[in-house]
Amino acid sequence: MSEIKTTTVEVRLPSRMGFEKVAMSTASAVAKLMGFPEERVEDLKTAVAEACINAIEHGNRLNEKLSVGVVLSASVDSLEVKVIDDGKGMSKKQAKPDIDRKMHGEEDPRGMGMFLIQALVDEAEWVAGSEGRASYVRLVIRLDKDA
Amino acid sequence: MQSETKSRVDQLTSPAGHAVTVLRFEGDIASTSKEAVLGAYQALPKGTIKQVLLDFTKVDYINSSGIALVIQLLMEAANAGQKVYAFGLSAHFTKVFTMVGITKYAGLFPGQTEALAAL
With both helix axes pointing from N to C terminus, report the angle between A38-54 and A20-34 in degrees, rounded to the nearest 10: 150
Whether the complex's predicted ipTM surpasses the cut of 0.90: yes
Report the candidate in B103, B98, B46, B95 with the shortest Cα–Cα distance to residue B74.
B103
Mean pLDDT of chain A: 92
Work out the number of other CB atoms within 10 angstroms of the CB of residue A13.
23
Residue A135 predicted with pLDDT over 70: yes
A27: chain B residues, CB-CB within 8 Å: none
Where exactly are the structural domains of chain B? 6-118
In CATH, the architecture of A7-142 is 2-Layer Sandwich (3.30)
Q: Apex CA B27: angle with CA B23 and CA B28, to 5°?
A: 105
Where exactly are the structural domains of chain A? 7-142
pLDDT digits (tens, 9 = 90+) for A22-32: 999 999 999 99
Shortest Cα distance from B69 to chain A (angstroms)? 8
Whole-angstrom distance, CA of residue A58 vs CA of residue A44 = 21
Residue A147 predicted with pLDDT over 60: no
pLDDT digits (tens, 9 = 90+) for B74-115: 999 999 999 999 999 999 999 999 999 999 999 999 999 999
Q: What are phi and psi of B99, to 5 degrees?
A: -60, -40
The predicted pLDDT at position A131 comes to 75
- The topology under which CATH files domain B6-118 is Transcription Regulator spoIIAA (3.30.750)
Q: Which of B65, B96, B104 sits opposite A99 (nearest CB)?
A: B104
The predicted pLDDT at position A92 comes to 66
Residue A46 predicted with pLDDT over 70: yes
Is any Cβ of chain A less than 8 angstroms from the Cβ of B79? no
Section A83-105 average pLDDT: 85
Shortest Cα distance from B74 to chain A (angstroms)? 8
Section B50-70 average pLDDT: 97
